[in-house]
Each structure stands twice: as C-alpha cells, then as structure tokens.
C-alpha cells in the first residue's frame, strides 16, 4: 500500500519533517508511516537485557510522541508507526519500496552540513526524498531544475504535482553554462551565446510544455540562466519554498552517490529539497 514515510527522532528538525510529511499525506490522501530507529549505543559486549529493554522502550515512547503529534496536526489522517533497530537511513530505506515519498529533517546549512542520513537516503532511494529545512520561503514557490534529461522530466512531474496540490507557483530553471548541460554534448554552442540561448531555450520550453497542459491551473514560468546548473539553482533556491531536482548519480559507486548539482543543493540550499530518481518519473 502506498504511503508517505517520515523519520522521527524528537529533534526540532524531525518535528519540521513530520509537519511536512503530514501535509503531504493529507494532500495525497495517503497513510503516513512514522519511523524511528533505536540503537544500543555501546559495544555489544557491554549490553544486558534490562539495558536494551530500557533503550527500546525509550524509542517506543519517542515514536508514540511523533504519532500523537501527527494525529494532532491532522485528526482524520491514518497514521502507522514503525520501530526499527539500527541506523536511521537503513530503517527509512526498509520502508521505501511502497512509499510515494520519504521525508527527513535537516539542519540549516549555515549551522551544520546536511546529515549522513539525508545524503544516504537521497542517494539510495528509488522514490522521491524530501529533505526539510526551516528556512523555506513561505511564499509558495516550487523551483525545478531542468536540462532536457529524463531525470529532469521526473523532477518536473513531481514539481508540478506538488505545486498543484499545494496551490503554489512553479519556476523551471535551466542553468545551461556548463559542458554537461549542453544538448547532445554540443560544445560548439558555447562559442555563440545567441545560439546557445536559442537551443537551450527550446529544450526548456519543450520540457515544460506537457506539464502546462496536464496542470493548467499551476502558475508556471521558465528561466534560462547562463550559469552552471549548480549556481543557477542555488540562487533560485534562495527565494523558493521547495526546490526539486533529479538525482543523476554518476559516481563509481552509484548507490552511494548523487549528482554534483543535487549534492550541492542538499548541502547548501536554504530551502526544502526534494531529490527525484529517474525511475520515479
């Protein structure tokens, strides 16, 4: 059964993630699964049954608190709970096969770099992962990274759906001043700025056009920016409530890598970020 999954550990960051997940589940008319991973904090040879039971009960109480908060935020919402042992990223990924969306919290980038849980879940998940931050603009703007790829099309699908569900505006951004962003790897475009604008502008408009037809009520705009995708999207994220990008991992160990742009956004963007794997589109 499809559901929205959120990781909860009682911190202020996970409270924000829970609130975001509750709204997602409510709008999508899906159940919410609140997940908490407890872990014995000492070497195994220092463990004892009573101590392990106490740590487990603490995890259960933490999870019950998250479930109670979810019920308080949305009284009619179906909320399930899942208590796992081990690392939080593994606990979330264990819930992922049937999930429409995974939601995790994150520190603001100026306080601390994004945690390993968010990075690992976003890199390994086969479904969209929302990393929630407190600095998201309240204006209701979804920024989507576009480059004409299938991964970007998956991001557009999620971004338009999110904008339609929440009644937000959408801005599709194509940062084209980068060899990897050139259509068909045509590097000759960088010798003719007008041609680059024309070719990349056509790619951008064609990518967005089908979604304008599917979601006619979404107020959408496009932006072609002669900067790298990373720079263009980080700048756009400053005024966004949510930024959506494809994963495009290309590292030697693909299951543990994100693309350079999505990685940079997770680490430095002030707003909430959703990473959308290509297969999710």
Asked if 229 and 261 touch (Cβ cutoff 8 Å), the reply is yes
Short-list 26, 62, 13, CA closest to 3: 26
- Whether domain 1-134 has CATH 3.90.79.10: the reply is no
pLDDT score of 158:
97
The residue ranking higher by pLDDT, 133 or 164, is 164
Q: What's phi and psi for 276, nearest 5 deg?
A: -115, 115
Q: Looking at the domain 136-281, which fold is it?
A: Rossmann fold (3.40.50)
Domain boundaries, the chain: 1-134, 136-281
- What's the rounded Cα separation, in Å, for the pair 106 and 133? 6
Which tokens in the block code for residue 112? 């601390």
CA dist 96 and 191 (Å) reads: 45
| Mean local confidence (pLDDT), 166-185 | 85
Q: Does this model's pTM top 0.75?
A: yes
Beta bridge partner(s), residue 275: 129, 245
Common-topology check for domains 1-134 and 136-281: yes
Q: What are 118's two structure tokens?
A: 């968010």
Measured distance CA(142)–CA(275) in Å, rounded: 13
Residues 6+ apart with CB under 8 A from 245: 144, 145, 152, 155, 233, 259, 261, 262, 265, 273, 274, 275, 276
DSSP 203-247: HHHHHHHHHHHH-TTS-EEEEEESS-HHHHHHHHHTT-SEEEEE-
Q: What is the pLDDT of residues 81-131, one digit of tens each?
A: 999 887 888 888 888 788 999 999 987 665 555 567 888 888 888 899 999
Range of 60-64, 209-213, 276-280 with top mean pLDDT:
209-213
Express each pLDDT in 244-279 by its tens digit.
Answer: 999 864 433 344 346 788 888 988 899 999 999 976
């Amino acid at each position: 059964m499809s559901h929205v999954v959120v990781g909860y550990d009682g911190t202020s960051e996970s409270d924000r993630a829970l609130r975001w997940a509750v709204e997602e589940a409510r709008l999508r008319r899906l159940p919410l699964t609140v997940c908490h991973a407890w872990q014995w904090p000492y070497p195994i040879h220092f463990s004892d049954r009573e101590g392990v039971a106490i740590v487990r009960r603490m995890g259960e109480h933490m999870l019950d608190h998250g479930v109670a908060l979810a019920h308080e935020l949305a009284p009619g919402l179906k909320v399930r709970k899942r208590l796992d042992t081990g690392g939080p990223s593994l606990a979330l990924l264990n819930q992922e096969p049937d999930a429409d969306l995974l939601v995790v919290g994150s520190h603001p980038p100026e306080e601390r770099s994004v945690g390993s849980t968010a990075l690992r879940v976003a890199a390994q998940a086969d479904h969209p992962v929302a990393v929630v931050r407190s600095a998201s603009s309240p204006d209701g703007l979804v920024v989507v990274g576009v480059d004409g790829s299938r991964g970007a099309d998956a991001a557009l699908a999620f971004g338009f759906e999110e904008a339609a569900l929440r009644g937000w505006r959408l801005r599709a951004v194509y940062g084209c001043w980068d060899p990897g962003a050139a259509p068909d790897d045509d590097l000759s475009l960088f010798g003719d700025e007008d041609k680059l604008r024309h070719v990349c502008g056509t790619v951008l408009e064609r990518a967005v056009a089908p979604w304008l037809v599917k979601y006619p009520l979404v107020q959408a705009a496009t932006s072609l920016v002669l900067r790298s995708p990373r720079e263009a999207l980080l700048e756009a994220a400053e005024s966004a409530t949510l930024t959506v990008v494809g994963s495009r991992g290309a590292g030697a160990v693909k299951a543990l890598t994100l693309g350079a742009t999505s990685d940079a956004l997770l680490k430095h963007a002030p707003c909430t970020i959703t990473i959308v794997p290509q297969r999710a589109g």
